[in-house]
Amino acid sequence: MRRRNPWPGLAARFAAKEAVFKALGSGVTAWLEVEIDGGGNHPVQAILTGAAAQIARSRHIDKVLLSLSHDRERAIAFATAISKGE
């Protein structure tokens, strides 16, 4: 919210949450159980809690890799679930 126009970045984070839900294969989960953290000079990461973390554990998912991008009119995000292979 510190940027002059925060909306494109917020839209990218919204897209990232949607991408995480799809990567987990769970459809829509509680929005507050997936936090998109980082950005700028820090890697963007998904922090899972509650049911989202439980779904990840049940599917042996160690982490979810994220890629976000946006311009003034569009936002896009990709999420890849990384599994132990169990």
**Domain with 11 in it: what CATH number?**
3.90.470.20
Mean pLDDT for the stretch of residues 9-32: 87
Residue 74, domain member (yes or no): yes
Beta-bridge partner residues of 35: 47
Integer Cα distance of 20 and 28 in angstroms: 10
Instruction: Specify the number of domains making up the chain.
Output: 1
pTM of the model: 0.84
Residue 1, domain member (yes or no): no
Residue 2, domain member (yes or no): no
Per-residue pLDDT reduced to its tens digit, 25-46: 866 667 899 999 987 788 899 9
Residue 25, domain member (yes or no): yes
Residue 43, domain member (yes or no): yes
Domain range for 49: 7-83
Nearest in space to 70 (alpha carbons), one of 20, 17, 9, 3: 9
